Amino acid sequence: ELAAGVLKGITGKEGKKLLAISFYRLGNFTDALEAFNKLDGADDEALYYLGLTCERLNLFNQAVKAYGKIKSADLKESAALRIEEIQRASDSININKEDKKAANIIALAPGDESYPQAGALILLSDEHITVTKEHTQESSLHYMVKILNERGKESFADTAIEYDSTFERLELVYARTIKPDGSVIYVGSRHIRDVSKYLNFPLYSNARVFIISFPEVVTGAVLEYKIRIKRNQLINGKDFFLSYPVQAYEPVLTARFSISLPKGISLNMKAVNVEYNDFNANLKGRKEENNTRYLWEFRDLPQILPESGMPPDARINPTILFSTFQSWEEVYVWWQGLCADKIKADKSIKDAVRKLIAGKKSDLEKARSIYNFCAKDIRYVAVEYGQAGYEPHAAAEIFRNKYGDCKDQSVLLVSMLREAGLKAYPVLIPTKQYYNLNEDLPSGLFNHCIAVLFLKDRKIFLDPTAETCSFGDLPLGDQGRKVLVFKENGFAIEEIPFYPASHNLMRQSLNLRINSDGSVSGEKNNFTLGAYDQSQRLWLIYTQPELIKDMLKGAIQNVSIGAKLKSYEVKNLHELDKPVALSYSFYGPEYFTRAGALRIFPQLSNLDTSLCVKDKRKYPVDLGLFDTKEFDFDIVLPDDFVVKYIPVSLKAESKWLSCDVQYVASRNRIYFKQRVVAKENEVNRLEYEDFKAFTERLARDMKQRIVLEKVK
């Protein structure tokens, strides 16, 4: 940086060249290219660095052109190697001569007729992890994938490997496409990108993605690559943890996995989701090399076949969890050491807290004001915990930048709450998409960070990354999870409960007036709480007003073909302390289905049966949440219509839900109410057939229509 600063003031040719090279060294490739292009008559050194710059900018043809101009012997050989790397491909190479072992694996692979549901076959997954006595970690990963159809191409033609450049170095040993005729196309640098995963957020520039774009991918081709990842230090200098899911969403013919540890290091293991191991995979593995190497081998692993409404992969995929932590106290000491000094309020934070709590009479009001600020005014960067490291940034830095990932936002929230005199702590949590905390396996297997506030006898969990979530509420993914609370002098394992059905409310009321000519005018009000309030607020905030109008126009077409939206109103959109309310009015030219003098209503009551399409299931039905849905319709009829038939009210009760449907006819009015309460958030495999029978029977009972007759 200092050199570039000095060289900017030099006008001579050599100074300009060195400035361009300085930009390259700084990783400022755009300015480097501009500086090289301003040189008159670049020498060989400048041409070589120009070629390197062009490669970093994916300008491979320009890079080859620059390398090709180099004449001096000391750089010509290096330039030729760069050109070879860029253009590395030869149809004359055949896998049968190049690599007999790989050729044999391919020759023995079954055809796609044996796997009608597959998009690809994972011929080989060979993964080995070695922890050294110097507390470094080396991973060797070797994969071979046979493409069966377009779905396979979509999934595997571009392969992305994520790594943390602060501690990890990734090395591509080789990558190649093996075509159906056996010819081999090697991946060159023009097919490789090594980029920041979060380009717009410099705080997380260490989270990188190494992307391999395989050339000439066709049906029947095999994609093969081998990489090494070296980590220069373990997370706390001596421990590590990881998960190994056994199945994939494509069939796996051969999988090998091993962990090698120095003597004296104990490895804790736990198999989860074993109830889905109906293919009898040996999850225990075996020990080798004087009990320092743990090895697992699997053959013919069936693919996971997705089912509608199934739980996330972490709940259904047989998985082995590993950790060298021996106690939760060790986990606490490790992460407390990373975050404790970051929870500190500087002058800017102190001033902000003072303004936020001014005039607030209770601790609850103070906490709500601070939470609302962190949730709304600090932009969340969706970096999963651990992807950009485990150490949070200082609260002052996050406050200054006004953005942060989950651990950063939580550290800022805790800092501000403490500055207000409140008791608050950061919390590590595995969300619903991840493996829940196992009390008998101490580890750092978390994917999210939130906070907890203690107010007298109340314990309130807060997730500041959920910008549309009101104080005291939580996203669905945070509920029903065990968490690790980091107090000043120790840890606590807590469990966040699921919120009850009354907490997640969707209520729709409709006032409808039907005219003698069959036209209709109406006003609809949508009121939401909990998860429904979060999602409706998110939709309304991030959707253009014109598009909202178009969506509402589309919705009223279900009431009346050709209906016109008259107006709509949104209340409390940016007030997290109040539920958002959406109301709109409309007019429609028709409402009934005609049958001579009879007029048939649309079906008012209904129940979704889309989760019951299978006769049997392998996986549970994930209902998502405990909730309450209420529909309340008030329909005014014209004087020249009489009610010919009104459905019978009904009530139904099961383990999973209760349903109450009421029809009432009074003079020229019809009142309809439906209330469905979900009492469970999951249907297990053994109960599915009963759930299916109950749901379909109830849906049939609800399938009734009001019938009117027009009086002359």
Report which of 241, 214, 209, 235 is spatially closest to residue 225, judged by C-alpha positions: 214
Q: Given this model, what pLDDT does residue 88 score?
A: 65
pLDDT confidence band for 92 (50 / 70 / 90)? low
Render pLDDT for 97-118 as a digit per residue (tens, 0 to 9): 889 999 999 999 998 888 999 9
Output the six-digit token pair for 623: 């209902």
For residues 35-55, average pLDDT: 90
Q: Given this model, what pLDDT does residue 29 score?
A: 87
Cα dist. 214→174, 177, 191, 251 in Å? 11, 6, 7, 21
Q: Given this model, what pLDDT does residue 56 score?
A: 84
Handedness of CA 181, 187, 190, 193 (dihedral sign): positive
- The answer to whether 532 and 504 have CB atoms below 8 angstroms apart is yes
Q: What percent of the chain has pLDDT over 70?
A: 99
- The answer to whether 439 and 481 have CB atoms below 8 angstroms apart is no
Q: Given this model, what pLDDT does residue 188 score?
A: 83
Report which of 236, 311, 300 is spatially closest to residue 272, judged by C-alpha positions: 311
Q: How many Cα atoms sit within 13 Å of 703 on the Cβ side?
A: 8
For residues 181-204, average pLDDT: 86
d(CA 306, CA 613): 13
pTM: 0.86
CA dihedral 343, 345, 349, 350 (to 10 degrees): 140
Q: Is the pLDDT of residue 291 over 80?
A: no
Render pLDDT for 335-386 as a digit per residue (tens, 0 to 9): 999 999 999 999 999 999 999 999 999 999 999 999 999 999 999 988 777 7
pLDDT confidence band for 198 (50 / 70 / 90)? confident
- The answer to whether 411 and 395 have CB atoms below 8 angstroms apart is yes
For residues 669-698, average pLDDT: 96
Render pLDDT for 465-507 as a digit per residue (tens, 0 to 9): 999 999 999 999 999 999 999 999 999 999 999 999 999 999 9
Output the six-digit token pair for 642: 């009489």
d(CA 279, CA 295): 19
d(CA 576, CA 368): 9
Q: What is the DSSP letter of 421?
A: T
For residues 397-421, average pLDDT: 95
d(CA 692, CA 326): 45
Q: Given this model, what pLDDT does residue 452 score?
A: 98
Render pLDDT for 119-157 as a digit per residue (tens, 0 to 9): 999 999 999 999 999 999 999 999 999 999 999 999 999
Render pLDDT for 311-320 as a digit per residue (tens, 0 to 9): 999 999 999 9
Cα dist. 151→121, 220, 253, 306, 476 in Å? 11, 12, 18, 14, 31
Report which of 573, 564, 570, 565 is spatially closest to residue 583, judged by C-alpha positions: 570
Q: How many Cα atoms sit within 13 Å of 257 on the Cβ side?
A: 19
Q: Given this model, what pLDDT does residue 90 score?
A: 45
